[in-house]
Amino acid sequence: MDTNALTSRLMRVLRFDASVYREIAADQGALPQALTIVVVAVILYSLPAFVAGQGAAAGIVLVALGIIGGLIGFGLYSAVAAFIAKTFFQGKTEFQEMARTLGFAYAWQAVGILGFIPILGGLIAFVGWIGAVVSGLIALRESAEFDTVKALITVVIAAIVAGFATFCATGIIGTPIILALGLASGGQ
């Protein structure tokens, strides 16, 4: 993995440079980079909760669940977005291309690491979330090769569908584990 090229792409993502998404969409080797960005962003976004004092074992389990949930959500969102874009708006995209571009858009989620800062942390994390939404909209638009209105409609529908499916999937996987952690810590 060429770290200089990756760093250059990430800087362009953070500047909302639309041309980087066209470049990523065309780069069939960029999926491992995109997945790495998703995992790192989820870890960084989860760190303030880890530091908040769940205990080391519980914190590690919660971060691991966050990574699993993040990857499930990312995969579902990419698949639903590609399906909606292609089926309803004749977008010129497919799952892997959509996943590559949306994965890079996740870079903005990493701003959530600053969520631990008193008073301003929540606001900074919110700005990171807004940045991720805007970056995701641009990524989707460039990947599907259609206008912003179609991209916005696709984002909203895909977020609702994938969000609900991810909530259900991670609830089925995570709830028993979280309950077990709660019971284990209650016995101490």
HEC string of 70-84 equals HHHHHHHHHHHHHHH
Q: What is the pLDDT of residue 118?
A: 77
Q: Is residue 153 part of a domain?
A: yes
> pTM for the whole thing?
0.83
Q: Is residue 50 part of a domain?
A: yes
* DSSP string computed for 138-188: HHHHHHHT--HHHHHHHHHHHHHHHHHHHHHHHHHHHHHHHHHHHHHHHT-
Residue of 171, 156, 168, 142 whose CA lies nearest to 80: 156
Strand runs labelled E in 2-76: none
Q: What angle do CA 96, 157, 74 make, to 5 degrees?
A: 35
- Residues 88-109 have pLDDT tens digits of 999 999 999 999 999 999 898 8
Q: What is the pLDDT of residue 151?
A: 95
Q: What is the pLDDT of residue 135?
A: 94
Q: What is the pLDDT of residue 182?
A: 59
Q: What is the pLDDT of residue 114?
A: 75
Q: What is the pLDDT of residue 122?
A: 78
Q: Which of 123-127, 152-156, 172-176 has the lowest mean pLDDT?
A: 172-176
Question: Domain total for the chain?
Answer: 1
Answer for the pair 177, 65: CB distance below 8 angstroms, yes or no: yes
- Residues 15-61 have pLDDT tens digits of 999 999 999 999 999 999 999 999 988 888 777 666 655 566 666 77
Q: Is residue 115 part of a domain?
A: yes
Q: What is the pLDDT of residue 185?
A: 53
- Residues 132-161 have pLDDT tens digits of 899 999 999 999 999 999 999 999 999 999
Q: Is residue 188 part of a domain?
A: no
Residue predicted with more confidence, 68 or 8: 8
Q: Which two three-digit tokens encode residue 2? A: 């060429």
Residue of 85, 53, 58 whose CA lies nearest to 180: 58
**15 Cβ contact partners less than 8 Å away, ≥ 6 residues apart:** none
Supply the mean pLDDT for the chain: 84
Q: Which two three-digit tokens encode residue 15? A: 């500047």
**Cα 64 off chain centre by:** 15
Q: What is the pLDDT of residue 49?
A: 62
Q: Is residue 18 part of a domain?
A: no
Mean pLDDT, residues 107-118 taken together: 78
What residue type is 74 in one-letter code?
F
> Please, what sign has the CA dihedral across residues 174, 180, 183, 187?
negative
Domain extent at residue 91? 3-13+28-183
Q: Which of 15-24, 109-118, 177-186 has the lowest mean pLDDT?
A: 177-186
**For residues 10, 158, 48 and 57, what is the CA-based torsion angle, rounded to 10 degrees?**
-110
Q: Is residue 20 part of a domain?
A: no
Q: Is residue 175 part of a domain?
A: yes
Q: Is residue 168 part of a domain?
A: yes
Q: What is the pLDDT of residue 152?
A: 95
Residue 26: Cβ-neighbour burial (10 angstroms; 0-12, 13-18, 19+): exposed
